[in-house]
Amino acid sequence: MSVPAGEPDDLRRLEADVRAELYLAESRNPGESVPAPADEQYELRLHSLLDAVVALEGDAQPDGRPA
C-alpha cells in the first residue's frame, strides 16, 4: 500500500499521538499488579495501530512518493 503525497507528516503526527496514548495506557494504575482486561485490550489495540502506522510510514519516501 502506498502513501499519497503530503501524508507522511500526518502519519508522523498520528504515530506521535498513538505513542503518547500508549504511554498513558501503560502507566495507568501503576499500583495494580494485574491490569483490567479492558485496559489490556486497549493497549493491544494501540500496539496494533502503532504497528500499522509504522508499516505505512515505511512505504513512503521523504518526498511522499511510494517506496
Whether 3 maps to a domain, the answer reads: no
* Distance between CA atoms of residues 53 and 56, nearest Å: 5
Structure-model confidence comparison of residues 30 and 24, the more confident one: 24
Q: Where are the beta strands (DSSP E) in the chain?
A: none
Residue 44 maps to a domain: yes
44-64 confidence digits (pLDDT tens):
999 999 999 999 888 765 555
Does residue 65 belong to any structural domain of this protein?
no
Mean pLDDT of the chain: 80
What is the pLDDT confidence band of residue 5, given thresholds at 50, 70 and 90? Answer: low
Does 34 fall in a domain? yes
Nearest Cα residue to 54 out of 22, 31, 29: 22
The domain of 15 spans: 8-58
pLDDT of residue 18: 95
- For residue 2, tell me if it sits in a domain: no
Mean of pLDDT values over 6-22: 89
Identify whether 32 is part of a domain.
yes
Query: What stretch of H or E contains 10?
Result: helix 8-27
**Structural domain tally of the chain?**
1
- Residue 46 confidence (pLDDT): 95
